[in-house]
Amino acid sequence: MRQLIAGNWKMNGLLADSLELASAVVKGAAALPCDVLVCPPATVLRAVAGKVAGTAVAVGGQDCHAKEKGAHTGDISAAMLKDAGASAVILGHSERRTDHGESSPEVRAKVVAAVACGLLPIVCVGETEAERLAGRQEDVVRAQVWDSLPDGFAGVIAYEPVWAIGTGRTPTEADVAAMHACIRAVLLERLGEGGRRLRILYGGSVKPANARTLLALPEVGGALVGGASLAAADFLAIAAAAAD
Ligand code: PGA
């Protein structure tokens, strides 16, 4: 399966810079050996989707509510993302789990809502530094994967160690490979054969300088890129390093 390189713009970008970034990504995306997704802030999602329409670049949201609609001030439903032009949505990012106290069962409910609207869910999991230092990383991630996925899940998983996000630090190649193997085993246990082909992205300080090595590791099905996705040249360099 082609690798997926997804850019998580987080809470960055007003309309003008977002459109400029999207145009630059589109210009470089045509010949890439991978699927490319950008996840802009909700306020510019429709405009970015319009800019990339008909190109190789897809657009995703960064979160959605589990309910279809109703009295949830400030929240955005999966249908709204879809209506604005999204085809995917990041769910359970560690910044959501930390800043908004999202639990894995809540993430699972969001996955169900996203799938019901035809969005590809990208479910994030990852241990904190304290959990890794205590040797608990596999237990933590196993529980997050198990509890965040509904039966029959057919989306994408992103392994993002919390301590590697935005820090410039990454796990060793052996640690990434070990965790991806662990996640694959959980997917097979949880989903049966359906778990064999799902892409498991790596995320956390992916840069042009380390992308080729990370993307070549066994069971790495792509990358979820934060900081480096805000510069088109860096994001495209990472995507160009994808294994085809
Ligand atoms: P980073 O973020 O690439 O800036 O480390 C990754 C993410 O949070 O998805």
Query: What pLDDT score was predicted for residue 211?
Result: 98
Query: What pLDDT score was predicted for residue 30?
Result: 86
According to CATH, what is the number of the domain 55-223? 3.20.20.70
To test the ligand 1 pocket, which listed residue (89, 123, 224) has its Cβ within 8 A of the most ligand atoms? 224
Atom nearest to 95 CA in ligand 1? 8
Query: What pLDDT score was predicted for residue 34?
Result: 97
234 lines ligand 1 (CB under 6 A): no
Query: What pLDDT score was predicted for residue 153?
Result: 98
Query: 65 catalytic, yes or no?
Result: no
The rounded Å distance from CA 83 to ligand 1 centre is 26
Atom nearest to 227 CA in ligand 1? 4
227 lines ligand 1 (CB under 6 A): yes
Q: Using the CB atoms, write b or e for 131-155: b if 16+ within 10 Å.
A: bbeeeebbebbbebbebbbbeebeb
pLDDT along the chain (244 residues), means of 10: 96 98 96 95 98 97 98 98 98 97 98 98 98 98 98 97 97 98 98 96 98 97 98 97 83
Atom nearest to 204 CA in ligand 1? 5
- Phi, psi torsion values for 50, nearest 5 degrees: -65, -40
The rounded Å distance from CA 8 to ligand 1 centre is 7
Q: Name 233's Cβ contacts closer than 8 Å, sequence gap at least 6.
A: 24
Query: What pLDDT score was predicted for residue 244?
Result: 65
Rounded to the nearest 10 degrees, the angle between the axes of helix 232-240 and helix 208-215 is: 20
Domain extents in the chain: 55-223
Query: 160 catalytic, yes or no?
Result: yes
* Global confidence as pTM: 0.98
H or E element: which one contains 84? helix 78-84
Cα–Cα distance measured from residue 102 to residue 66, given in angstroms and rounded to the nearest whole number: 11
